Amino acid sequence: MLLALCPLLGFAQEPENDQEQRITALEEQSETLDKLVKGLSKFKASAYIQGQYQYGEEDASLKVGDKNENADAGFNRIGIRRGRIKFEYNDGIGTGAVQIEVNDKGVSYRDLYIGVKDPWTKRSSLTVGVFNRPFGYEIPYSTSNLESPERATIIQDFFPDERDLGAMLTLQPVKESKFYFLKLEAGLFAGNSINKETDSRKDFIGRLGAEKTIGDYAQWGLGVSYYNGSVYNPTTTAYEMVGKEFRVVDKGTTGTYMKREYVGMDGQFSILTAMGKTTLRAEGLLGIQPGIAGSSKSPNYSARPTNSPENALYKRPFIGYFFYLIQDIGSSPFSAVLKYDTYDPNTDLQKDEVGLAGSNTSKTDLAQSTIGIGALYRFSKNVRLQAYYEINSNEKSANVSGYESDRKDNVLTVRLQYKF
């Protein structure tokens, strides 16, 4: 019987050479799979979508939808505030990133940069392209994590889109160093936000920051920032403060530049107690900001402005600051938020000094402040609901039409966010 089965068993057995080939093929497939997994681990895609409802009093400006169609009544809008998707590839030495923005106003890009790390000392890196400016704490703080619907007023006005085109060097000791908590970021930027560059001048931006944990229950951080740049003036004249009025300065020719300079400080502290995590953040800026008569915002032209009177620059000394108090409610998914935000675009003027005949001052020189009260509820690590009410106040002047009293411009925001 065994003799009879031997031929069958021999026939069923695979030749030794075929077995080796099959093993080799499996090993090659395993190597290919490993390479694919390693390659995918270097690639990262992330996104978040913010849908929101807003109600504003008659003088309010909302972030979604069109402006108020009724001059004497409040209004509401729904829309997509932000829809962002980011693709990033990191091979350990180099990084490439692209971030796209989609909302109810259209499609644009946010990040578009290349990063290269120092492979020898591992203490430095170079970033080139369009990315967050290295100024303060709130600019690089993702709006998907922000406890208020928007960044502070002065950040929105002075750093439109938060990003700029430029090159930045980052220096930080290795993790084993006792000075690892220090980080220096500094670079040269076009100074025109995410728009194309329109001149040969560059702005310097830098920040020295420190961040450290205290056990597993507290953390603190401090930072000092500096901005030194300029703004193009397309007219032969400009305006500078002399006493309580703007005086005309003859520049002699078009195409001159006016200096813009900011100094900033920021601080953060958080502690974990039985009440939950408590976080305090504060940031302030002061300096000189050139703007036009109708706006103190940083110009971010996609093309050079024309030589017309409304484009002449006004040099304003400013100050702005804001702080947050965020209290997690125990271990629950709730958090309470309190924020105070103030911005004075012209510290040389107060109240009725603004708008005097012949002073060349206007509503642009009036200060504004906001008290924000909000709540967050996290359904999961992906889904977050936010409710936030802004009580907006403006500096009053009897000489500025529409600003003799406090404007009716409070805003309620309810936002649902999905992040993945």
What is the share, in percent, of the chain residues with pLDDT greater than 90? 82
* Interval 14-24 mean pLDDT: 68
Q: Which residues contact 137 (CB under 8 A, 6 or more apart)?
A: 209, 221, 223, 266, 268, 281, 283
Phi first, then psi: give them for residue 365, nearest 5 degrees: -90, 5
Q: Is 81 exposed, middle or buried (0-12, 13-18, 19+ CB in 10 A)?
A: buried
Is residue 241 within 8 Å of 350, Cβ to Cβ? no
* Interval 185-214 mean pLDDT: 95
The string of pLDDT tens digits covering residues 371-414 is 999 999 999 999 999 999 999 999 999 999 999 999 999 999 99
What is the per-residue pLDDT for 106?
87
What is the per-residue pLDDT for 122?
85
CATH class, range 42-419: mainly beta
Give the separation between CA 277 and CA 252, rounded to whole angstroms: 58
By DSSP bridging, strand 237-242 and strand 314-328 are: parallel
Q: Is residue 35 very low, low, confident or very high in pLDDT (cuts 50, 70, 90)?
A: low
Give the separation between CA 136 and CA 65, rounded to whole angstroms: 30
What is the per-residue pLDDT for 165?
96
Per-residue tokens: 52: 């929101």
pLDDT at 215 over 80: yes
What is the per-residue pLDDT for 16?
64
Is residue 236 within 8 Å of 310, Cβ to Cβ? no
